Amino acid sequence: MTIQKKLLVLVDGSDRSMQTINYVKEFMPVDENTRIVLFHVFSGIPEEYRELEENPTCHSAVRQLRDRETEQQRKTRAYLERGKKILITRGFSEQSIEIKFHSLEKGVAMDIIDEARNGYSAVVLRRRGIGALKSIILGSVAVKLLQSLTFIPIIIVGQAPPVKRILFAVDTSPSSMKAVEFASSLLGGHGYEACIFHAIISLGAINFELLGVNEPEMPDNCIEALKSKVMRTFKVLKDMLMVSGFESEKISEKIITGANSRSCAIVEEAEDGGYGTIVVGRRGLSKVEAFFMGRVSNKVVHVGNKFTVWVVP
């Protein structure tokens, strides 16, 4: 039995969220088992202004607000229809694309989280929406979703071109296994290139002076032992990719040693290798990363702000 893939694509009517639709169009494979839901939370007039209708001196002002709300609804619905047509031109069938115009209930983020519980495979969103300052890496809604959507993969779309080259940033944790498994189930068999990448942290990245001890020496054979453990994981992950349909000659593997920061090493590799998408597990091996968001995955989202980052629980 073929499992249906269902993507919740968040759109707010901005140029940025149209770029999100374009990422889905250019990067996601056209598959008869893929369903796309274009989801918009419409806030309309703030509730406190609606209450002014009871004040006779405010009738005219409230009527103008309602007229603008109606026009905003019309423009947003037209925007959603335009997004649907863009996906259809890519080859997605009209029946596979649904538009959901949702009136605000609990709050934008909470309403999205409630919708995400309805059998979706992943949530796709832009880093910043309407009105977000250019200096802000993530908008307030994106931050809330990144913190709260711990039960579903979240795809945060960046500005890098959606080339079909994927950097799998992994360690030996179960979370990395799940990340590769999820992405391969969605993308396998469609000609993507993949690099399985791991950065071994340098002991120099630890401030031993602050701890009041001297930096220990790490013999080469110990580094080789670490690399051997990672290579065993690489073999499992490569087999997983090949079973899902990735071609062996399009899968590469890379381990670097002496990294001062895993997250920076991941982003640098994405830049140097011409990747547009980075896939990470939400949690890593350390106890610190047992919290809602691992240190490495969290930093990759922020440091690699021009890339599309898939965060998989």
- One-letter amino acid of 23: Y
Q: Are strands 5-10 and 34-42 parallel, antiparallel or unpaired?
A: parallel
Residues 65 and 149 in one domain: yes
- Quick one: pLDDT at residue 217? 58
**pLDDT (mean) for 96-108:** 93
Q: How much is the average pLDDT of 31-57?
A: 77
pTM for this one?
A: 0.86
Strands (DSSP E) contained in 187-313 are: 193-201, 251-259, 277-281, 308-312
Residues 267 and 175 in one domain: yes
Q: What is the enclosing helix (H) or strand (E) of 211?
A: helix 208-211
Q: For position 233, what pLDDT does the model report?
A: 95
User: Could you tell me how many residues make up the chain?
Assistant: 313
- Give me the amino acid identity at 148: S
On whether both 129 and 100 belong to a single domain, the answer is: yes
DSSP state letters, 138-188: S-HHHHHHHHH-TTS-EEEE-SS---SEEEEE--SSHHHHHHHHHHHHHHT
The residue type of 313 is: P
- Total domains, the chain: 2
Model confidence band, residue 203 (pLDDT cutoffs 50, 70, 90) = low
Domain-ending residue, one of 137, 157, 177: 157
- pLDDT (mean) for 224-234: 91
Would you say residue 163 has pLDDT above 60? yes
Would you call 86 helix, strand, or coil by DSSP? helix
Helix (H, G, I), strand (E, B) or coil at 313: coil
180 or 65: which leads in pLDDT = 180
Look up the CATH number of the domain holding residue 34. Answer: 3.40.50.620
Tell me, yes or no, whether 175 and 307 share the same domain.
yes
Angle between the N-to-C axes of helices 15-27 and 59-90, in degrees from 0 to 180, rounded to the nearest 10: 20
Quick: pLDDT tens for 165-195. 999 999 988 999 999 999 999 999 999 999 9
Please, which pLDDT band fits residue 44 given cuts at 50, 70 and 90?
Answer: confident
Do residues 279 and 169 touch, judged by C-beta distance below 8 A? yes
Average pLDDT score over residue span 96-110: 93
**Which of these ranges, 79-83, 145-149, 208-212, has the smallest mean pLDDT?**
208-212
Q: Which of 155-169, 256-270, 273-287 has the lowest mean pLDDT?
A: 273-287
204 pLDDT exceeds 60? no
| Together in a domain, 143 and 179 | no
What is residue 79's predicted lDDT score, i.e. its pLDDT? 95
pLDDT digits (tens, 9 = 90+) for 6-36: 999 999 888 778 889 999 999 999 988 899 9
CA distance 302 to 197: 19
Residue 255 has pLDDT above 90, yes or no: yes
Q: Contact, 305 vs 276, CB < 8 A?
A: no
135 and 91 both lie in a single domain: yes
Instruction: Take residue 291 and report the two structure tokens written for it.
Output: 């919290």
Give the torsion through C-alpha atoms of 99, 104, 107, 113, to 10 deg: -30
For the chain, what is the mean pLDDT?
Answer: 85
How far apart (Å, rounded) are the C-alpha atoms in residues 66 and 59?
10
Q: Which of the given ranges, 36-40, 212-216, 220-224, 293-297, has the highest pLDDT on average? A: 36-40
* Selected residue with higher pLDDT from 61 and 269: 269
> By mean pLDDT, which of 15-19, 205-209, 287-291 is the weakest?
287-291
Q: Does residue 211 share a domain with residue 116?
A: no
Which one, of 271, 281, 274, 282, lies nearest residue 304 by Cα? 271
pLDDT at 276: 96
Range of the domain at 74: 5-157
Cα separation, 210 vs 218, whole angstroms: 19
Average pLDDT over residues 73-100: 95
**3-class secondary structure, 93:** coil
Q: Where among 157, 181, 207 does a domain terminate?
A: 157
